[in-house]
């Protein structure tokens, strides 16, 4: 320790903060990091999407999915360049504006940064092989090898993300034996990587990237749909938009569970950090998050309900949508009810207590968990109705199966409500455990109902082909709203994750000594997030346009009916 102090001081003396003209160094790094992350999510999420689509094309013998996959891989080529450029901007800003932090991080993580670069190199060339070899390795065993390249691309991409995650999670949750006096050179790299939040962030981001990739695919398809001049083209992009939305919404349902895990790890690491996040100056952030997720649920469901207009037989289920809408709106209102907000003694006295006398009961976790689980169930039911809209089951046990499915929904909802109400009468530590039962009931319902539905759909009688392309334009704007909201939400959650460090570069180990050390209020953060989203979406729009310019659309004229996903 005696040796480490002079070393740290030497680092501090030789490295200094600098400022960036006009917008300041924090804003400069914020924009560079955020846009790099958005592109990174795009180039990590879309390959997952592409490789799954290619697999459906190969094993389902449906060339549409193969073409869809190729179309997106083409966009990836340009997006990779944008990711690398913004990554370089970010690193240069960090190295020149925040030298002390950069010196500290490189002292610990230097070797992993070299590995990162090496894998990024491999990832890029795997992508080139994957795309340019598409038509060469098109048939038979070669096609399987090509698909293997797609998997390899995802392996490289995921590894790169895991490495980068270790740096940022170390800043949030450095191992507890590391103190301000610990020399960074003495910290073992694996010890730093295996910190409290590394794996939860990895999993959360992995799922988040799939959601994001699906949403961007949906936005691309809707852009092309609106620009289409022929019915066939419109049908193709309508179908593509549906696939993108399906993937985004399916992964979104799983995302909160990964979020719970991350939140729990943050609390276990440092309760005060968790309280800052959920009940301190960031408490309002979760109200905004609830609003955004409500928009996602509503827009996603709206798209499905409008989409039922193009499915013969769907009119049977239309009367139910208003009840689903009521559940979603009520759930969103409860979820958006604030619980704890920072207030001084004067404000508390004016309120007559620590919580609102009426709404306070809805702002607690019991109510919120109940609301969100019921919203997930409602969304799943929407999808189920959409899925079976144009079929009539012919298996002899179809009626019994439907009743069992209905009972499963009722039981799941009852479990969610039971533990939600009971949560008001037990200790906090017991109440937290109840969320596991609620989530378990919902997941079990989703899994078992889906299995039953797949079995029931065997040999089902068709009530007519889905009329792809017969979608009103307003449904496509819902896909745009989804893409913008997903992107904005990503920026907001990034602010939450990074902001809970407050004025620490590395939590309670290395302080931020710049003039920008204070963590800004949500208003400022929202302006920054919107700026980043606008820059990102403008660049993505440009990439979409380039994609169309470089090559004509790859859609193939329809000869077979495009199936529902999962059929």
Partner 1 sequence: MWATNLRIFGVVLGTLALYTLIANKIPQVQSEVPKALALGANVTPEQLVSAGDQLFHGAGGCTACHGLGTRAPNLLTDEKGQGTIGARCGKREQGKDCKAYLYESLTNPRAYVVQGYEPIMPEMGRTLSPQQLWALVAFLESNGGTVDVTGSDIPAATAAPAAPAGGGAATAPGVAGIAGGSTDPMAIIRGAGCTACHTINGEGGKIGPDLSHVGSRLSQNLIRESILLPDAKTAKGFEKFKGVMPKTFGHQLTGEQLEALVQFLSSHK
Phi, psi angles (nearest 5°) of residue 438: -65, -50
Does 179 help bind partner 1 (rule: CB under 8 A)?
yes
Instruction: Using CB under 8 A, pick the residue from 340, 402, 498, 553 that binds partner 1.
Output: 340
Instruction: Using CB under 8 A, pick the residue from 63, 110, 148, 180 that binds partner 1.
Output: 180
Q: Which is nearer to partner 1, 163 or 522 (CB)?
A: 522
Instruction: Using CB under 8 A, pick the residue from 82, 290, 533, 539 that binds partner 1.
Output: 533
For 464, the token pair is: 């007519």
Interface residues for partner 1 in 41-100 (CB under 8 A)?
100
Interhelix angle 24-59/63-97, nearest 10 degrees = 160
CB of residue 29 to partner 1, shortest distance in Å: 17
Contacts of residue 345, defined as CB under 8 A and 6 or more positions apart, other chains included, come to none
Cα distance between residue 420 and residue 368, in whole Å? 8
Kindly indicate which of the ranges 43-51, 155-163, 458-466, 507-515 contains the residues binding partner 1, using the contact rule CB under 8 A.
Answer: 507-515
Residue 414's alpha-carbon distances to 330, 420, 425, 440, 479, in angstroms, are 17, 10, 17, 13, 32
Q: Which is nearer to partner 1, 277 or 371 (CB)?
A: 277
Helices (H), 60-197: 63-97, 99-132, 140-172, 189-193
Phi, psi angles (nearest 5°) of residue 65: -65, -35
Residue identified by tokens 């078992």 is 448
Contact 39, 86 (CB under 8 A): yes
Cα distance between residue 470 and residue 376, in whole Å? 28
For 541, the token pair is: 């729009």
Helix (H) or strand (E) holding 461: strand 461-462
Interface residues for partner 1 in 464-503 (CB under 8 A)?
477, 480-481, 484-485, 488, 499, 502-503
Nearest to 100 by CA among 470, 478, 398, 506: 506
Instruction: Using CB under 8 A, pick the residue from 255, 526, 546, 556 that binds partner 1.
Output: 526
Kindly indicate which of the ranges 118-126, 176-184, 230-238, 242-250 contains the residues binding partner 1, using the contact rule CB under 8 A.
Answer: 176-184
Contact 324, 382 (CB under 8 A): yes
Does 272 help bind partner 1 (rule: CB under 8 A)?
yes
Does 432 help bind partner 1 (rule: CB under 8 A)?
no
Instruction: Using CB under 8 A, pick the residue from 268, 399, 400, 462 that binds partner 1.
Output: 268
Does 263 help bind partner 1 (rule: CB under 8 A)?
no
Contact mark string toward partner 1, 214..253, x via CB under 8 A:
---------x--xx--------------------------
Contact mark string toward partner 1, 146..165, x via CB under 8 A:
--------------------
Does 367 help bind partner 1 (rule: CB under 8 A)?
no
Does 3 help bind partner 1 (rule: CB under 8 A)?
no
Does 18 help bind partner 1 (rule: CB under 8 A)?
no
Kindly indicate which of the ranges 42-50, 255-263, 398-406, 530-538 contains the residues binding partner 1, using the contact rule CB under 8 A.
Answer: 530-538
CB of residue 254 to partner 1, shortest distance in Å: 24
The DSSP bridge partners found for residue 510 are 506
CB atoms within 10 A of CB 519: 20
CB of residue 438 to partner 1, shortest distance in Å: 21
Contact mark string toward partner 1, 97..126, x via CB under 8 A:
---x---x----------------------
Interface residues for partner 1 in 347-366 (CB under 8 A)?
348-349, 353-354
Does 276 help bind partner 1 (rule: CB under 8 A)?
yes
Does 177 help bind partner 1 (rule: CB under 8 A)?
yes
Does 510 help bind partner 1 (rule: CB under 8 A)?
yes
Instruction: Using CB under 8 A, pick the residue from 20, 281, 418, 437 that binds partner 1.
Output: 281
Q: Which is nearer to partner 1, 228 or 390 (CB)?
A: 228
Cα distance between residue 561 and residue 565, in whole Å? 12
The DSSP bridge partners found for residue 462 are 391
Residue 65's alpha-carbon distances to 135, 154, 233, 471, 538, in angstroms, are 14, 18, 15, 21, 27
Contacts of residue 518, defined as CB under 8 A and 6 or more positions apart, other chains included, come to 503
- Cα 529 to chain centroid distance, Å, stands at 16
The count of residues interacting with partner 1 (CB under 8 A) is: 72
Does 342 help bind partner 1 (rule: CB under 8 A)?
yes
Helix (H) or strand (E) holding 391: strand 391-392
CB of residue 147 to partner 1, shortest distance in Å: 34
CB of residue 464 to partner 1, shortest distance in Å: 30
């Amino acid at each position: 320790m005696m040796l480490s102090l002079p070393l740290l001081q030497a680092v501090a003396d030789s490295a200094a903060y600098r400022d960036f003209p006009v917008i300041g160094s924090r804003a400069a790094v914020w924009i560079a990091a955020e846009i790099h992350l958005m592109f990174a999510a795009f180039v990590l999420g879309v390959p997952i999407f592409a490789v799954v689509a290619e697999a459906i094309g190969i094993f389902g013998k449906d060339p549409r999915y193969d073409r869809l996959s190729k179309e997106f891989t083409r966009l990836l080529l340009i997006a990779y360049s944008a990711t690398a450029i913004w990554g370089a901007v970010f690193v240069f800003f960090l190295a020149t504006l925040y030298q002390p932090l950069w010196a500290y991080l490189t002292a610990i993580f230097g070797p992993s940064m070299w590995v990162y670069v090496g894998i990024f190199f491999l990832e890029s060339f795997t992508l080139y092989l994957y795309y340019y070899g598409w038509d060469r390795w098109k048939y038979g065993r070669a096609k399987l090898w090509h698909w293997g390249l797609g998997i390899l691309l995802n392996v490289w991409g995921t590894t790169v993300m895991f490495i980068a995650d270790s740096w940022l999670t170390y800043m949030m949750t450095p191992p507890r034996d590391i103190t301000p006096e610990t020399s960074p050179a003495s910290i073992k790299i694996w010890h730093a990587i295996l910190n409290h939040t590394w794996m939860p962030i990895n999993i959360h981001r992995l799922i988040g990237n799939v959601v994001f990739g699906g949403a961007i695919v949906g936005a691309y398809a809707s852009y092309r749909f609106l620009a289409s001049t022929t019915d066939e083209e419109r049908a193709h992009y309508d179908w593509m938009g549906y696939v993108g939305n399906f993937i985004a919404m399916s992964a979104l349902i799983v995302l909160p569970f990964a979020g719970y895990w991350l939140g729990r790890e943050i609390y276990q690491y440092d309760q005060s950090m968790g309280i800052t996040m959920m009940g301190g100056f960031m408490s309002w952030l979760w109200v905004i998050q609830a609003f955004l997720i409500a928009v996602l649920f509503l827009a996603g469901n709206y798209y499905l309900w409008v989409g039922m207009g193009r499915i013969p037989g769907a009119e049977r289920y239309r009367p139910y949508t208003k009840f689903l809408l009521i559940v979603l709106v009520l759930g969103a209102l409860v979820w958006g009810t604030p619980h704890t907000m920072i207030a001084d003694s004067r404000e508390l006295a004016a309120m007559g207590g620590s919580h609102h006398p009426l709404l306070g009961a809805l702002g607690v976790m019991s109510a919120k968990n109940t609301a969100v689980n019921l919203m997930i169930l409602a969304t799943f039911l929407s999808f189920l109705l959409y899925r079976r809209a144009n079929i009539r089951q012919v298996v002899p046990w179809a009626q019994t199966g439907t009743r069992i499915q209905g009972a499963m929904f009722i039981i799941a909802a009852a479990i969610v409500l039971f533990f939600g109400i009971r949560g008001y009468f037990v200790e906090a530590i017991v109440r937290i455990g109840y969320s596991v039962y609620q989530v378990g009931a919902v997941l079990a319902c989703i899994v078992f109902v889906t299995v039953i539905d797949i079995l029931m759909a065997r040999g089902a009688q068709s009530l007519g082909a889905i009329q792809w392309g017969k979608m009103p334009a307003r449904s496509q704007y819902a896909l745009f709203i989804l893409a913008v909201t997903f992107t904005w939400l990503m920026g907001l959650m990034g602010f939450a994750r990074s902001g809970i460090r407050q004025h620490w570069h590395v939590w309670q180990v290395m302080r931020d000594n710049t003039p920008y050390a204070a963590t800004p209020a949500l208003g400022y953060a929202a302006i920054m997030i919107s700026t980043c989203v606008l820059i990102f979406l403008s660049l993505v729009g440009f990439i979409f346009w380039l994609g169309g310019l470089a090559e004509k659309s790859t859609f193939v004229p329809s000869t077979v009916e495009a199936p529902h996903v999962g059929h």
